[in-house]
Amino acid sequence: MFHLEPRPQTSKLWIAITPLLAVVATMIAGGILFAFLGKDPFVSIRLIFWDPLFGDFAFYYRPQLLVKGAPLILIAIGLSLGFRAGIWNIGAEGQYIIGAICGAAVGLAFYPMESWLIFPLMILAGALGGTLWAMIPAILKVRYGTNEILVSLMLVYVAEKLLASMSLGLLKNPEGHGFPGSRNLRDYASAFNDELFAGTGMHWGVAAAFIAVILAYVLLNRHMLGFQIRLTGQAPRAARFAGVNPPRLILFCLGTSGMLAGLAGMFEVSGPSGQISIDFNTGYGFTAIIVAFLGRLHPVGILLAGLLLALTYIGGEIAQGQLNLPAAAIQLFQGMLLFFLLAVDLLSNFRIRLNQRKESI
Amino acid sequence: MRPIKTIAAGIALAVGLGGAALAADKTKVGFIYVGPIGDGGYTYQHDQGRLAVEKHFGDKVETVYQESVPEGADAERAITQMALNGADLIFTTSFGFMDPTVAVAKKFPNVKFEHATGFKRADNLGTYSARFYEGRTVIGTIAGRMTKTNKIGYIGAYPIPEVIRGINAAFIAARKVNPDVEFNIVWAYTWFDPAKEADAAKALLEQGADVILQHTDSTAPSAAAEKAGNVITFGQASDMAEYKPRPRVSSIIDNWAPYYIERVQAVMDGTWKSDDTWSGIGAGMVEIGEITGVPDDVKKEAEGIRDQIAAGTLHPFTGPLNKQDGTPWLAAGETADDGTLLGMNFYVEGIKGELPK
């Protein structure tokens, strides 16, 4: 009945339309799902997409979009550089954890001294921690040709064990009655990553995410290194002839993504989360992989994808809280969104043609 | 701290406006759950408590809940959202919600909060918990009597005082009736993850355990035990009756309903005050599920211990008891004080292995 015909060129129009189409398709499929669960589909969809932005309490939810989206964007930007060059850092979650541990540890080491120097030092420590953790798969790959996907992923579990150990031992709050978890950095002014402007949700991590988007854009479009990254991804052999040094590129890509993930962890632990605890990480490092691809590995795309995913998280929570929807239904809904986005992506490279009767194949 | 105050003022204003219209008719009660309501264990029981509140008060009350809320930054948003939407009373039902609850309570002075199993309180934030360890003493006795390999497996969620207290209580009780008993303890680092819990159970079975105690919320360990055969387990938080009469031979049931009803009533009457509640078998907050599939004398003995604890004639932590390293803790006849129990971060003498650090 139908067949797919490759387009001679990727359609610019469809690239712009497909995300909207996917959102609409998700609304329809999601609405049916919610209706089967006995909830009003229109109310559910409104709660997810409309209320966080324009509802009664948007003044609270809009800043939360930034809070939720910033770490995703920051990590995804770093990952996208490597992904473009065919270097697969799957372990951003681990680098995020290590960045948080290092940042928090530096802050807590100074407790209760107050100084403006402490926060910058924490940022440095977070960036360094994330970078070093990512350097493990990088160096192993360069030196021994190991697979960075496996090594970086396995290091996530090592980082999680380290996080548990820190919460129960070295960084445990001495005034916490033996309960696990560090002191809350919110109660320590010098280390607290407070909002820069009241009520906006803008903390240093959000600022860092925006800066990362701009720098990545400049790097990829205006800089030799960006050209090399793109070339390596598209034509590795040609890249070699063009003078690309693969080991250096591996170190750069993994190092940068590790650094950004580490920063995200540090800003999270010193701000929204406030403390190192066993459950500190909630999967930003993995979700960021989706964000990176959803944004088509383009800095601006990632910015939008990060905010969209944040919207479904926050809207999903609203729908759960108000309609008593099961958590799994919301996860399913998010899954649908990703499914449709990837599915309709097809339309930018292919067009659907009705088979004519007379034409035989 | 100034920006926070500004937001707080903004939010308080919004709630004041929104709340005034609602306050007249229904009392809105919110619940934040750490697991899914279908976990068949801990969260399921809290939700039973919520349903009991609905049944008791009928249309005088409206309840909302959010399940599977991650412990950390996301919890704060979930709680804030409930407060924004006009909840009068919010129960946050897991230890990891402590700091987020404290933060939200600060922003919403007119909303009442109750946090389960924590220790931080404020004028509008109370804490409550159940003396689950009393139940552990009962099932520890059954475990000690029933094991043939003398190896008892224990799946712990996190090495926090709550869980450590349970391990110690069960161990003391098991050793009392069987001096050869040993505990193998596995930490799952999750409250609810059927796959991880099943793995932990399998690992314990491979090490020769024929009794499995769990301080995690799913029925996965019972399922694993059923498959292995000849292994007994105990329902955790909920009765887990579908595994009766074996492998599940008894259970520790959390019965939150009376407490939730009492606190909602207090909010309706305007008599709610922040306090700390810690009740056990005697008050009915902890129940022992029907004892099945064990010899009659074991059943009688366990029920006897249950009744003694309920009557207050037996304290699970009665000396002489030493800490793991051999230092004396309680002299003969002395019982543990609540402060030590609440912050318990050591094993009693005889337990092998170290607490994770």
φ and ψ of A253, to 5 deg: -65, -50
Q: Is residue B276 part of a domain?
A: no
Nearest CA in chain B to A323: B64
The distance of A82 to chain B (nearest Cα, Å) reads 29
Contacts of residue B6 in chain A, CB cutoff 8 Å? 198-199
Per-residue pLDDT of chain A (361 residues; tens, 9 = 90+): 778 888 888 778 887 788 788 889 999 999 999 999 999 999 999 999 999 999 888 999 999 999 999 999 999 999 999 999 999 999 999 999 999 999 999 999 998 889 999 999 999 999 999 999 999 999 999 999 999 999 999 999 999 999 999 998 899 988 877 778 899 998 899 999 888 888 888 899 999 999 999 999 999 988 888 888 888 888 888 888 888 888 999 999 999 999 999 999 999 999 999 999 988 998 999 999 989 988 889 999 999 999 999 999 999 999 988 888 888 998 899 889 888 988 888 888 888 887 765 554 4
Q: Is B113 helix (H, G, I), strand (E, B) or coil?
A: strand
Q: Same domain for B139 and B219?
A: yes
Scanning the structure block, which residue is given the tokens 């505990």?
A: B183
For chain B, give the percent of residues with pLDDT over 90. Answer: 75
Strands B286-289, A2-6: parallel, antiparallel or unpaired by DSSP?
unpaired
User: DSSP letter string over A6-54?
Assistant: E-SS--HHHHHHHHHHHHHHHHHHHHHHHHHTTS-HHHHHIIIIIHHHH
Q: Same domain for B161 and B232?
A: yes
Q: Same domain for B81 and B148?
A: no
Look up the pTM and report it: 0.84
Q: Same domain for B149 and B249?
A: yes
The distance of A280 to chain B (nearest Cα, Å) reads 6
Nearest CA in chain A to B82: A321
Nearest CA in chain A to B118: A179
Which of B3, B14, B70 has the CB atom closest to A282's CB atom?
Answer: B70
Q: Is residue B152 part of a domain?
A: yes
Contacts of residue B2 in chain A, CB cutoff 8 Å? 198
Neighbours of B309 (CB within 10 A): 23
Query: B residues 323-342 near A, CB within 8 Å?
Result: 342
Q: Which residues pair with A353 in a beta bridge?
A: A3
Scanning the structure block, which residue is given the tokens 């599920």?
A: B289
- Token pair for A161: 């064990």
Q: Is residue B306 part of a domain?
A: yes
- CATH number where B40 lies: 3.40.50.2300
Q: Is residue B271 part of a domain?
A: no
Contacts of residue A325 in chain B, CB cutoff 8 Å? none
Q: What is the pLDDT of residue B21?
A: 42
Assembly ipTM:
0.84
The verdict on a CB contact (< 8 Å) between A277 and B96 is: yes
Q: What is the pLDDT of residue A356?
A: 64
Nearest CA in chain B to A174: B343
For chain B, give the percent of residues with pLDDT over 70. Answer: 93
Domain-ending residue, one of B86, B113, B130: B130
The reply to whether B312 touches chain A by the CB within 8 Å rule is no
The distance of B69 to chain A (nearest Cα, Å) reads 8
Q: Same domain for B191 and B315?
A: yes
Contacts of residue B74 in chain A, CB cutoff 8 Å? 282, 317
**Cα A66 to the chain's mean position, in Å?**
12
d(CA A69, CA A58) in angstroms, rounded, equals 16
Number of domains forming the structure of chain B: 2
d(CA B352, CA A204) in angstroms, rounded, equals 46
Q: Same domain for B195 and B126?
A: no
Q: What is the pLDDT of residue B229?
A: 86
Which residues form the domain of B177?
A: 132-254+287-342
d(CA A122, CA A136) in angstroms, rounded, equals 22
The verdict on a CB contact (< 8 Å) between A277 and B81 is: no
Q: Is residue B267 part of a domain?
A: no
Q: Same domain for B114 and B188?
A: no
Q: Is B164 helix (H, G, I), strand (E, B) or coil?
A: helix
Nearest CA in chain A to B14: A57
User: Which residue pairs, CB below 8 angstroms and at least 24 apart, start in A116-122?
Assistant: A116/A190, A118/A190, A118/A191, A119/A190, A119/A191, A119/A193, A119/A204, A119/A270, A122/A191, A122/A266, A122/A270
Q: Same domain for B146 and B72?
A: no
Strands A2-6, B328-330: parallel, antiparallel or unpaired by DSSP?
unpaired
CB B164 within 8 A of CB B344: yes
Query: B residues 187-206 near A, CB within 8 Å?
Result: 189
CB A350 within 8 A of CB B95: no
Distance of CA A352 to CAs A23, A28, B139, Å? 20, 21, 65
Choose among B157, B152, B151: nearest CA to B139: B152
Q: Same domain for B164 and B240?
A: yes
Domain-ending residue, one of B80, B106, B130: B130
Nearest CA in chain A to B81: A318
Query: B residues 80-99 near A, CB within 8 Å?
Result: 80-82, 84-85, 95-96, 99
Q: What is the DSSP letter of A186?
A: G
Predicted confidence (pLDDT) per residue in B297-349, tens digit: 999 999 999 999 999 999 999 989 999 999 999 999 999 999 889 889 899 99
Q: Which domains does chain A carry? A: 1-39+325-361 (no CATH), 64-322 (1.10.3470)
Strands A2-6, A350-354: parallel, antiparallel or unpaired by DSSP?
antiparallel
Residue B52: partners with Cβ closer than 8 Å, 6 or more residues away: B257, B260, B261
Q: Same domain for B189 and B318?
A: yes
Q: Same domain for B12 and B122?
A: yes
Domain-ending residue, one of B97, B130, B163: B130
Contacts of residue A59 in chain B, CB cutoff 8 Å? 10, 14
Predicted confidence (pLDDT) per residue in B225-279, tens digit: 999 888 999 999 888 888 988 899 999 999 999 999 999 999 999 999 999 999 9
Scanning the structure block, which residue is given the tokens 């015909």?
A: A5
d(CA B53, CA B83) in angstroms, rounded, equals 19
The distance of B303 to chain A (nearest Cα, Å) reads 32
d(CA A298, CA A317) in angstroms, rounded, equals 28
Q: Is residue B275 part of a domain?
A: no
Q: Same domain for B236 and B220?
A: yes
The distance of B45 to chain A (nearest Cα, Å) reads 16
- Token pair for B49: 């408590």
The verdict on a CB contact (< 8 Å) between B14 and A57 is: yes
Nearest CA in chain B to A52: B81
The verdict on a CB contact (< 8 Å) between B11 and A195 is: no
Q: Is residue B225 part of a domain?
A: yes
Q: Is residue B17 part of a domain?
A: yes
Name the interface residues of A facing B (CB cutoff 8 Å).
56-57, 59-60, 64, 67-68, 160, 164-165, 168-169, 177-181, 184, 186, 189, 194-195, 197-199, 268, 272-275, 277-280, 282, 314, 317-318, 320-322, 324, 326-328
Residue pairs between chains A and B whose CB atoms are closer than 8 Å: 113
The reply to whether B2 touches chain A by the CB within 8 Å rule is yes
Predicted confidence (pLDDT) per residue in B264-306, tens digit: 999 999 999 999 999 999 999 999 999 999 999 999 999 999 9
The verdict on a CB contact (< 8 Å) between B73 and A321 is: no
Which of A59, A178, A278 has the CB atom closest to B161's CB atom?
Answer: A178
The verdict on a CB contact (< 8 Å) between B189 and A168 is: no
B161 by Cβ neighbours in 10 Å (0-12 / 13-18 / 19+) ranks as buried
The verdict on a CB contact (< 8 Å) between B67 and A59 is: no
